[in-house]
Amino acid sequence: MITDSHSHTLPYSPDAHMYIDELITKAKSLGIPRVGITEHYEIDMVYPDNEVMLFNLDDYDREFVKWKAECPEGLSLLKGIEFGYQTHTARAIDIVASCHDFDVVILSNHNFRGEDVYFSKIVYDLPIKARHAEYIGIMAEMCENCNNYDIAAHYDYINRYNPDDKATVCYEDCPDEFDRFFEAIISKNKSLEINTSSINSLIAKGNPNPMPDPAILKRYKEMGGTMITLSSDAHRSEALAQHFNMTREYMKSMGFYENTYFIGHVPHTEAL
């Protein structure tokens, strides 16, 4: 098995359904060598019922030292965080990211016009190409405006909760926005995440083509993109490294032979 760079645990990520000990037990049983613990950190974002996705970073620093010490042999925990981007929080994200010694920083865009896509009512009323162009445009802006990150997460999050089971995110929806997004990642030496929770949501909807659009991967490669990171984005233990084997085979068929993970922000690779 290979590294899983993206996961969430309680109580730091309130939408998770596992504690760190459950994650460790499951990761050991699957033979995963490294797991990135990347808790949600959403600056200036309030959810329904006045919930926030923020936590005390000093507590997290201290707790992580204990988790690492208690981690069984053969498994390493990578200390991470997942920032939710909004245009006005770019500088704050870079500052918080640089003030703590993370192994891996994930940048995400969970929002569409100020609301999390999960809660948004209007997002699917827009024509698919306009919706994807706007969302990938913000992904590009996020990767241009922030610097202290390692991985650009789930470019396909915009489609994760789409009730239309046939819809997927395709390069041809918005080639200019995808090119700008890839240019930002590649020029800054960041990694493109292949998120298997997104793949899982398409499988659950019965979509016969759950893998990332080949045109997206082809264009990323053509522009010089080499770094990809397979991630489960697990919020429960059953989801750790889910669909990794089929996704690894698919990525190899697209000409990507290495998975990139980060230790102290330094990229390392392992064979897919």
Residue among 82 and 103 whose Cβ is closer to Zn ion? 82
233, 250, 251, 260: which one contacts Zn ion (CB under 5 A)? 233
Binding mask 40-79 for Zn ion (x = CB under 5 A): ----------------------------------------
Q: Which stretch binds Zn ion (CB under 5 A): 42-50, 80-88, 168-176, 221-229?
A: 80-88
Q: Which of 260, 265, 221 lies closest to 2, judged by CA?
A: 260
Residue among 85 and 171 whose Cβ is closer to Zn ion? 85
Phi, psi of 108 (to 5 degrees): -135, 155
- Per CB under 5 A, 108 contacts Zn ion: yes
Residue among 145 and 226 whose Cβ is closer to Zn ion? 145
Residue 108 CB, shortest distance to Zn ion, in Å, is 4
**Rounded CA gap, 204 and 198, in Å?**
10
Residue among 222 and 238 whose Cβ is closer to Zn ion? 238
Residue among 150 and 233 whose Cβ is closer to Zn ion? 233
- Per CB under 5 A, 109 contacts Zn ion: no
Q: Which stretch binds Zn ion (CB under 5 A): 57-65, 81-89, 123-131, 167-175?
A: 81-89
> Total binding residues for Zn ion by CB under 5 A?
3
> Which residues in this chain contact Zn ion in the complex, by CB under 5 A?
82, 108, 233
